[in-house]
A = this chain, B = another copy of it.
């Protein structure tokens, strides 16, 4: 299971191996439960080397959080193109989000489970990333309001709550999709778009949100088929 032991690697490579091992171990066993011994072994190096490069368990964990937070936000950003309609941007961002969390379950566990649970140096780190996502969603809602010609737009405090709710729902669905074997990232994104954009009330009346046609017309989100096919 541990990486093949090959000696004398350049520092950057070793450091990556250590972070990989640490994310995996922290994600699966938790910050406190994971031991530096485990991580070193999984990385295929001795414990002192881990300390030499990453200083302490705390600092190692922080490095994991930063790396995974950066990877996640960059994945979302890369999935979205500015200039498209707000719902389209949200749809793209959610797909990127669910894809990334599905492909990096340990990193996601580090961010969503471990970092928030184990107190102050870490919670702040992940809170920064979360705020970035919330800000992104807030901006999208503001754009949507402009597109709908609503003047004056929604009060600021209210939008904050809505963005918070949307991000929270997305986080929760990421766990759900990772746990339920058959659920794809695309399905999770579709479910959330319907829920968040159309709302339960509309869904009850048979008026779901439907994905925009565009680069990826391959598959329609799950709910559409079950709910008639109204154009948006």
Q: Which residues of A come within 8 Å of B, CB atoms?
A: 29-30, 32-33, 87, 113-114, 116-119, 141, 144-145, 147-148, 150, 154-155, 157-158, 161-162, 164-173, 175-176, 183, 187-188, 191-192, 194-206, 209, 222-223, 226-227
B199 touches A144 (CB 8 A): no
A97 CB → nearest B CB, Å: 13
A141 CB to closest chain B CB (Å) equals 7
Question: Which B residues lie within 8 Å of A227 (CB)?
Answer: 154
Determine if A194 and B32 form an interchain contact, defined as CB atoms under 8 angstroms apart: no
Contact call B165/A191, Cβ cutoff below 8 A: yes
Q: How far is the CA of A53 from the CA of B213 in the complex (A)?
A: 62
Closest CB-CB distance, A41 to chain B, in whole Å? 14
Question: Which residues of B lie under 8 Å from residue A201 when comparing CB positions?
Answer: 87, 197-199, 202, 209
Which residue on chain B has the smallest CB distance to residue A174? B168
Q: Tell me, in angstroms, the Cα distance from A145 to B227 when the chains sit together.
A: 12
- From residue A211, how far is it (CB to closest CB) to chain B in Å? 13
Q: How far is the CB of A189 from chain B (nearest CB, A)?
A: 10
| Contact between B173 and A165, CB atoms less than 8 A apart | yes
Q: B168 near A168 (CB under 8 angstroms)?
A: yes
User: Is the Cβ of A165 less than 8 Å from the Cβ of B158?
Assistant: no
Are B202 and A202 interface neighbours, CB within 8 A?
yes
- Residue in chain B with minimal CB distance to A116: B113
Least distance between A33 CB and chain B CB atoms (Å): 7
- The answer to whether B29 and A194 have CB atoms under 8 Å apart is no
A124, chain B: closest CB distance, angstroms: 12
Q: Measured between C-beta atoms, what is the minimum distance from A38 to chain B in Å?
A: 14
User: Could you say which residues of chain B place their CB within 8 Å of the CB of A176?
Assistant: 161, 164, 168
- With a cutoff of 8 Å between Cβ atoms, the chain B residues found around residue A145 in the complex are 204
On whether the beta carbons of B157 and A222 are closer than 8 Å, the reply is: yes
Given known pairs A188-B161, A202-B199, A204-B144, the reply for A173 and B168 (CB within 8 Å) is yes
Q: Are B119 and A191 in contact (CB under 8 A)?
A: no
Query: Which of A157, A201, A202 has the most chain B CB atoms inside 10 A of its CB?
Result: A201
Per the bound structure, the CA–CA distance linking A180 and B40 in Å amounts to: 40
Tell whether, in the assembled complex, residue A33 and residue B222 are in contact, meaning their CB atoms are under 8 Å apart.
no
Q: Could you list 12 further interchain pairs (A-B, Cβ under 8 angstroms) beyond the known A150-B206, A165-B191? A: A30-B118, A141-B200, A144-B204, A148-B205, A148-B206, A154-B203, A161-B192, A162-B195, A165-B196, A168-B168, A169-B169, A198-B202
